[in-house]
Structure formats: structure tokens, C-alpha cells
Amino acid sequence: MKAAHGRVVSLHYTLTDDLGLQLDSSREREPFAYLHGYGNIIAGLEAALEGCEAGFSSAVHVTPAEGYGEYDPQAVFEAPRAQFPPGEDVQVGMRVQGEGEQGILNFTVVGVNDRVVVLDANHPMAGKNLHFAVEVLEVRDATAQELAHGHVHAHGHDH
């Protein structure tokens, strides 16, 4: 069976950056499963897996445009320190959330002083080339419920 719209693809992957530094891997945990064609993984990886079958193994290189987007320096801004709970130990590198018109937003703290917290709204992997080593383990038809919900229900998950 081939990876196509509405099929569940299970795979192992290792993700590295341009320097070969490992950023993530599924090798030490359960295989990663996603519903193909539903935008549940980055576009460049999904496109590379289109038509693949169990047993497919390859290196997949994804540019920022097909991954998490280009880095946008205008997405870095200052928020008044008073907007954070008093006494909260805000540190560079922390991930924090805020609420906007589109719902919950995630930010990385890139600077802190007594007056302001500098936040970066870019995805942590924005602007990075991504290098995946992938091994497709299984391709199966999605259940009716998975199709209706737009994502995989692993291990009998039902909601």
C-alpha cells in the first residue's frame, strides 16, 4: 500500500541540522504515525513521502520554505515585564504562551531585563534546513473516525 491522501503512515525518523547535530528522533520511542494529506507534518517531508511504501528508507532534505518557514526578524518584539506574573523567573530560552486573536500563541524568550521581556514568535526551527533520515514501517487505510477527525488515533484512542 502506498502513502496517499487518507492513509496512515508509520515511520521512524532522525532529524539533523546542516551541521549534522541531531534535533529529534523517534528511534528511542514508538514509531511516529500521521494521516497523510492532512497537513499534520511539514509540507516538504509529506511531499517526499507521497507514494512511498513500507520498507522505503531515504534521506529527505527540507528547505525552510517547505519546513517551518523563513526566519522573520519582525516576529521578535518586546513585551512589558509587568505582563508576566510577579516573581516569575523568566529566563532566556524559555517557551511561553500568550493569547491572541487566533488563539494560543507560542513564543521563545530571547531577552529579559527589569522593564521588558523580548519574545520571538518564530518557530524554533524557522529558517533552518532540515535533514531527515526516514524509514517507512507501515502504510494502512485510515479508519472512518481518523478521517473525520483529521489525525491518527493511536492505541485505541477515541474522542
Average pLDDT over residues 85-102: 89
Question: Among residues of the chain, what percentage have pLDDT more than 70?
Answer: 97
Q: What is the mean pLDDT of residues 97-120?
A: 91
Mean pLDDT of 119-148: 95
Give first-to-last CA distance, the chain, whole Å. Answer: 27
Q: Contact 119/108 with Cβ under 8 angstroms?
A: yes
pLDDT given for residue 158 in this prediction: 54
Candidate CATH numbers 3.40.50.300, 3.10.50.40, 3.40.1710.10, 3.30.70.660; the one for domain 7-68+125-156: 3.10.50.40
The domain limits of the chain are 7-68+125-156, 73-120
Whether the per-residue pLDDT at 48 is higher than 60: the answer is yes
> Could you tell me which CATH number the domain at 73-120 has?
2.40.10.330
Yes or no: say if 69 and 123 are a contact pair by the CB < 8 Å rule: yes
Closest by CA to 2, choosing from 38, 47, 39, 54, is: 54
**Predicted structure pTM score:** 0.82
- 27 φ, ψ to 5°? -60, -30
